[in-house]
Amino acid sequence: METTESKLNFHELELDERILKDIARLGWLEPTLVQEKAIPFLLEGKDVLIRARTGSGKTAAFAVPIIQNLLGRKGEDAVRETSVIVMAPSQDLCHQITKAFQELTFSCSTLVRVVDLSSKEDQSTYRHMLAEHPDIVVSTPAKLRYVLSEGVLNVRESLRAVIIDEADLMFSFGFEEDLREVLKNFPPVHQSVLCSATLDEDLITLKKMVLHNPVILKLQEPNVAIGSQLTHYQVEAGEEVDKAAILFILLKLKLIQGKCIIFVKSVERCYRLKLFLEQFNIRACILNSELPIKIRCHAVSQFNQGLYNTIITSDEMVAVNPAVVNKKHTKKTSTAKNLLQSTKAESGVSRGIDFQCVSCVVNFDFPPDVNSYIHRAGRTARGNNTGSVLSFVAADEVNQKVEVESFIQGLVGDETFALKRFQFNFADVEAFRYRALDAWRAITKLSIREARVKELKTEILNSEKLTSFFEENPRDLQALRHDRSLHTVHIQEHLADVPEYLVPPALKAMIPSKKANRNKRFSELKSNAQKRKAKAENPLLMDGLDYHKKRTV
């Protein structure tokens, strides 16, 4: 498809006023390229294959026309029925898609109901959720196969549209057999939509299984943002501790501004890096597939709300090396075993998660292949925003870096393209390396294990399912709370402060000096003393002022 210079507005797409109202409430000014091209075809009921890079707005591209078509049918027939199925390869994506539909149906929530089946496991819960025939069902293929095979859901007569998001991951996550079984329960005539950031053999196979005479939407944009929208940097690191030292310096000296996502290659390294940064009073949250879905969603929500500026996440084996999953899924395995394996695969967090307003992605461990780099980089420079990717390159990661550079060279048509060297003289901050070395060595395998146990205990204590149990069995709760002390890393408070003599002259303006901090504290103390003196002289007047201030705030 060729793009044009003219930009359409949402109101020019002939959408329902309630949808336009919710779009305005979300603050969307104009459709992205993929939305502008895909929505008209989907409104016409055509099968569409949407291939667009991460962060281009694919979710809204299919959600808006699906809701529009639903509202159009609601005017003709008020009977409630499940007419739309949306499938995604992970629980996180299902929750995210459900949230997007809920936001776009806020003004018509009484007419259009959305249900997410991905994180429920009890059959009675499924029956309760599907009893009122929700209009839109969002699920992973494994869970959808289960409810269809058990007769909890029947869409042979009512289904009008099927959407498969992140379609290129479906087979990689081991859902091929689930998808084939699910498709047997669908009517022969329905609208189908496939969405993907990349085009591979699995997607072509799925296209043949699902789509009928489709419109193939290949947008004239690269797989990853380039040019002024996204800048690619590299930092050469020798030993592993050098990576940690450089990251500590960049964060502590505020050389990385705004929200930042740090990618590592394993769950263990998530906790090691978090414990390392905590010693310098650098706050960060953790995101990996080992955590329960509620914690993962809560962590993303807090990050998007700005409660954390830094999040550390791991690329899981099922996402980085799909061959591992494919080997586990053989034709001889039972349905129950497949469901269990699929559930493990459903916990991947490296693809599709909507991190908002991310200014920088840091590859603490360089991605193992080009696709991983693309999807990591896609966490920033989303929509029309700008961002940067900073990759640490160790000696054994040079080959992966060369592959990425070759790929980007093909995108930009420049054979001389290379990841820019991050311009910073690390010799000026050599003293920081000794602090980082001590902090990195202080983290042991035992402290990492105890940190992971602590996360699980927190989830148990906060679990809604165990609330009533703990109310009836307070001793069990007391025993859990008074378990043996965790072996945490010893934190030295002085490490959180940056001595003025360690800060390079060019960066002193960015780091408040101790003298400035003392002056600030002195001013605050002086102001408080003046308030106390004034209150002692005229308490009624000061009480009135304090009350007025509280009411004003």
Q: Residues 488-531: pLDDT tens digits?
A: 566 666 566 666 756 766 666 666 555 555 555 556 666 766 66
Q: Please tell me whether residue 257 adopts helix, strand or coil conformation.
A: coil
pLDDT at 496: 63
Between the alpha carbon of residue 230 and those of residues 33, 188, 361, 381, the distances in Å are 17, 44, 10, 6
**Using an 8 Å Cβ cutoff, are 235 and 246 in contact?**
yes
Q: Please tell me whether residue 452 adopts helix, strand or coil conformation.
A: helix
CATH domain 224-318+353-443 topology: Rossmann fold (3.40.50)
**Using an 8 Å Cβ cutoff, are 209 and 177 in contact?**
no
pLDDT at 375: 81
Contacts for 84 with CB less than 8 Å, ≥ 6 apart: 66, 70, 135, 136, 137, 159, 160, 161, 162, 163
Q: Is the pTM of this model over 0.75?
A: no
Residue among 424, 440, 388 nearest 250 (CA): 424
Q: In this predicted model, what pLDDT tens digit does every residue of 89-114 receive, in sequence order?
A: 988 899 999 999 999 999 999 899 99
Packing angle between helix 240-252 and helix 267-278, nearest 10 degrees?
50
Highest mean pLDDT among 151-160, 336-345, 434-443: 151-160
Residue among 69, 88, 89 nearest 77 (CA): 69
Residue among 225, 226, 229, 245 nearest 237 (CA): 245
Q: Please tell me whether residue 220 adopts helix, strand or coil conformation.
A: coil
Strand residues in 129-187 grouped as ranges (E): 136-139, 161-164
| CATH topology match: 10-72+79-218 vs 224-318+353-443 | yes
β-bridge mates for residue 138, sequence order: 86, 116
Q: What is the 3-state secondary structure (H, E, C) of 324-345?
A: HHHHHCCCCCCHHHHHHHHHHH
| Mean pLDDT score of the chain | 78
pLDDT at 220: 59
Residue among 248, 196, 260, 223 nearest 373 (CA): 223
CB atoms within 10 A of CB 251: 19
pLDDT at 57: 85
Q: In this predicted model, what pLDDT tens digit does every residue of 211-246 receive, in sequence order?
A: 999 999 877 566 666 667 888 999 988 788 888 888
In the chain, what are the domain boundaries? 10-72+79-218, 224-318+353-443
Tokens 């996550």: give the residue: 173
Distance CA 196, CA 203 (A): 8
Higher-pLDDT residue of 325 and 430 is 430
CA 177 to chain centre: 27
Strand residues in 54-167 grouped as ranges (E): 84-87, 114-116, 136-139, 161-164
Distance CA 501, CA 498 (A): 8
pLDDT at 154: 93
Residue 447 has pLDDT above 80, yes or no: yes
β-bridge mates for residue 216, sequence order: 49
Q: Which CATH superfamily does the domain covering 10-72+79-218 fall into?
A: P-loop containing nucleotide triphosphate hydrolases (3.40.50.300)
Residue 457 has pLDDT above 90, yes or no: no
Q: In this predicted model, what pLDDT tens digit does every residue of 34-60 receive, in sequence order?
A: 999 999 999 999 999 998 877 778 899
Residues of the chain by 3-state class (helix, strand, coil), percent to 5: 50, 10, 35
